[in-house]
Chains A and B, each alone.
Chain A
Amino acid sequence: AQKITQTQPGMFVQEKEAVTLDCTYDTSDPSYGLFWYKQPSSGEMIFLIYQGSYDQQNATEGRYSLNFQKARKSANLVISASQLGDSAMYFCAVYGGATNKLIFGTGTLLAVQP
């Protein structure tokens, strides 16, 4: 079974500051992937970043980085230099290679303040 936990229902951050969105996961698959998606108010799901369970280095994509701590089963998303356009829902998800299923967390609503 796979499970994703996002404990922060909502967060505020000041523009230009960094913010960390928490995500912990549980999976029985030995090989898995961790994902972060952004969902703005318009509703579409936008892929942000991916971390494979065997990747040695933390993934980075522009201002997004994934703080992957395998022993703690955590995959926190770090957004550096927040922008007003970063205000959105952020979903963490885990994908098990043996199950072909992507399981989502309940999301964190991020509000960037000017």
Chain B
Amino acid sequence: NAGVTQTPKFRILKIGQSMTLQCTQDMNHNYMYWYRQDPGMGLKLIYYSVGAGITDKGEVPNGYNVSRSTTEDFPLRLELAAPSQTSVYFCASSYSNRVETQYFGPGTRLLVL
């Protein structure tokens, strides 16, 4: 199993551009999460999904959108990139809501200039 994979690993955007961060897991996990980690800070939950077709907002959803059309994929969309969205983005997944089983992807570093 590859676990949780994220693409791209690193991206620079101009203000106002849009992009999609990809996240895929091959563990048949129902739960998937997107976090952002700002410099020197802990992770903050952006969106999460408890199964295909179901998504919900986390702590910091503004400026982002998600979809969950399949169990494997949970893409995160930035429509109008802003400097405040410069961060490292982590995708995670878990089989259930027992979070000790949560697996993290390697992260995507995004810089908005």
Contact = CB atoms under 8 A, between A and B. Distances in A.
Interface of A: 4, 6, 33, 35, 43-45, 47, 50, 91, 93, 95, 97, 100-107
B42 A107 contact: yes
Chain B contact patch, size range: 20 to 34
Contacts of A104: 35, 42-44
Contact of A44 (B58, B59, B98, B107): B107
B97 A97 contact: yes
A100 B48 contact: yes
Interface of B: 31, 33, 35, 40-45, 48, 50, 56, 58-59, 88, 90, 92, 97-100, 102, 104, 106-107
A91 B43 contact: yes
A102 B41 CA distance: 14
